[in-house]
Amino acid sequence: SGPWMCYPGQAFQVPALPGCRPVLKLQCNGSKVPEAVLRDCCQQLADISGWCRCGALYSMLDSMYKEHGMQEGQAGTGAFPHCRREVVKLTAASITAVCRLPIVVDASGDGAYVCKDVAAYLDA
């Protein structure tokens, strides 16, 4: 396994994490996330390689924006009506930490729990 498995167009396709969508929406709006909903999300993330978890979260967030006909980062309507762009990004980036699932941050194999690259990637 390695980071090359996660790039779009490769044989490995990252799922859009349907179980994590309600977690992101609830957390972003300040609502409590039911344990069963969080467990579904964490299980879906656990099934993804540590190399690919942040990319999967980015893909999920991107698809949520696109489903609502929004450009990336546009806030106040659609998928996240009560969330500012920064809050949406930070919330998505922290789902791995909420699930206590490590991510691999670079080629040395160093790990972390928060997807800093999700927030950076959405700024691009």
CB atoms within 10 A of CB 15: 15
Tokens linked to 119: 């927030």
pLDDT score of 76: 47
The answer as to whether 78 is a domain residue is yes
The answer as to whether 60 is a domain residue is yes
The answer as to whether 28 is a domain residue is yes
- Burial of 40-77, coded b for 16+ CB within 10 Å and e otherwise, reads bbbebbeebbbbbbbbbbbbbbeebbeeeebeeeebee
The answer as to whether 100 is a domain residue is yes
Domain that holds residue 95: 19-120
pLDDT score of 34: 96
Tokens linked to 86: 């920064």
Q: Kindly report the CATH number assigned to the domain that includes residue 74.
A: 1.10.110.10
Domains: count for the chain = 1
Tokens 């991510």: give the residue: 103
The answer as to whether 94 is a domain residue is yes
Please list the pLDDT of the chain residue by residue as tens digits (124 residues): 455 556 554 444 556 789 999 999 898 888 899 999 999 999 999 998 888 888 888 888 888 888 776 654 454 456 777 787 778 888 888 999 999 998 886 666 667 788 875 545 554 4
pLDDT score of 104: 80
The answer as to whether 67 is a domain residue is yes
